């Protein structure tokens, strides 16, 4: 058995592995993974990490070198995990995957999937609402719980979850105001449609004048004139909000959505006023 001094001499004389030189030069550190992994550096290729463990054996120490592979960029733990069918284990290639392409069973709703992905819409404030409605009807026809009344309990539960999620996605993206608030939420600014977004005092004064004029309207033509002006304001705001969101100007988007909320309320009042003349 080697003595401690001789073992140290052999160890110091041995050439350093290439991986050790590379890691010292780059100064990057990596944490190996088991069930999941976290890497503190971006690895361009597979890297190997040696852990040196010393175990006491009486008066001597034995050097044990254990080698474990560190996760690379190609590993599943550092990239998006591919899902598979809960029944046949076939890989699910589409996102979102409502059905397994192999055995046709309903899949559970995916996590982290946006309403835009669910409804197959472009991520834009000025999305195509006709395409949105078409997608909604298509999904409800295929995912409605009534279609799976004879299937397994698991599929029935998944279809109910999908149907509810599709309804929520459709209602959120259909109206410009809720759509814009949702886009802000995706950017990390959590707001709710009922939240008071605040508005400029001059703008609020202008709204008061419009409301007074609507209350005093004596003919459908007068009310309709206010309605047309309001639609024009909403169209202008739509373009401005779309541009602000594209540029990532969240505070500007928030302020413009506040104006949209008030004009949307006026638009509803105009409809109510016109109904009174019928």
pLDDT in tens, 32-86: 333 333 333 333 333 333 333 333 334 333 333 333 333 333 333 333 567 899 9
**Could you read off the pLDDT of 106-159 as tens digits, one per residue?**
999 988 899 999 999 999 999 999 999 999 999 999 999 999 999 999 999 999
Q: Which domain holds residue 121?
A: 115-186
On whether the CB atoms of residues 235 and 260 are closer than 8 A, the answer is: no
- pTM assigned to the model: 0.65
Neighbours of 275 (CB within 10 A): 9
The answer to whether residue 30 is domain-embedded is yes
The verdict on 8 and 72 lying in the same domain is: yes
The answer to whether residue 196 is domain-embedded is no
What's the confidence (pLDDT) of residue 85? 93
User: What is the C-alpha separation between 96 and 139, in angstroms, rounded?
Assistant: 12
- Residue 194, phi then psi, degrees to nearest 5: -85, -5
Domain CATH for 164: 1.10.287.110
Given 186, 213, 244, the domain boundary residue is 186
The answer to whether residue 92 is domain-embedded is no
Residue 204 binned pLDDT confidence (cut-offs 50, 70, 90): confident
106 HSE (CA, 13 A, CB side): 24
The verdict on 11 and 37 lying in the same domain is: yes
Name 57's bridge partners.
60
The verdict on 234 and 262 lying in the same domain is: yes
The verdict on 182 and 208 lying in the same domain is: no
Percentage of the chain lying above the pLDDT 90 cut? 58
* Count of structural domains, the chain: 3
Given 186, 212, 237, the domain boundary residue is 186
255 HSE (CA, 13 A, CB side): 10
The verdict on 208 and 262 lying in the same domain is: yes
What's the confidence (pLDDT) of residue 260? 92
User: What is the C-alpha separation between 202 and 208, in angstroms, rounded?
Assistant: 10
Domain CATH for 222: 1.20.1280.20
């Amino acid at each position: 058995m080697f003595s401690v001094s001789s073992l140290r001499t052999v160890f110091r004389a041995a050439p350093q592995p290439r991986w050790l030189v590379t890691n010292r030069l780059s100064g990057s550190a990596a944490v190996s993974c088991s069930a999941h992994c976290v890497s503190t550096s971006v690895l361009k290729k597979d890297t190997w990490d040696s852990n040196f463990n010393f175990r006491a054996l009486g008066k001597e120490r034995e050097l044990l070198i254990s080698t474990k592979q560190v996760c690379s960029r190609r590993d599943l733990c550092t990239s998006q995990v591919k899902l598979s069918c809960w029944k046949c284990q076939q890989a699910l290639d589409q996102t979102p995957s409502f059905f397994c392409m192999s055995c046709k069973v309903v899949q559970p709703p995916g996590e982290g999937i946006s309403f835009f992905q669910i409804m197959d819409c472009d991520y834009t404030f000025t999305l195509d609402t006709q395409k949105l409605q078409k997608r909604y009807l298509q999904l409800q026809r295929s995912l409605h719980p009534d279609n799976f009344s004879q299937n397994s309990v698991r599929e029935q539960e998944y279809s109910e979850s999908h149907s509810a999620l599709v309804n929520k996605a459709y209602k959120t993206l259909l109206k410009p105001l809720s759509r814009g608030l949702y886009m802000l939420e995706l950017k990390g600014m959590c707001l709710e449609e009922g939240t008071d977004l605040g508005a400029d005092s001059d703008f609020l004064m202008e709204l008061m004048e419009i409301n007074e004029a609507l209350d005093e309207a004596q003919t459908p033509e007068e009310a309709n004139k206010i309605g047309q002006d309001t639609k024009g304001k909403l169209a202008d705001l739509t373009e401005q909000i779309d541009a602000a969101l594209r540029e990532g100007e969240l505070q500007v988007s928030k302020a413009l959505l506040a104006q949209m909320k008030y004009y949307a309320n006026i638009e509803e009042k105009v409809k109510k006023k016109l109904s009174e003349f019928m």
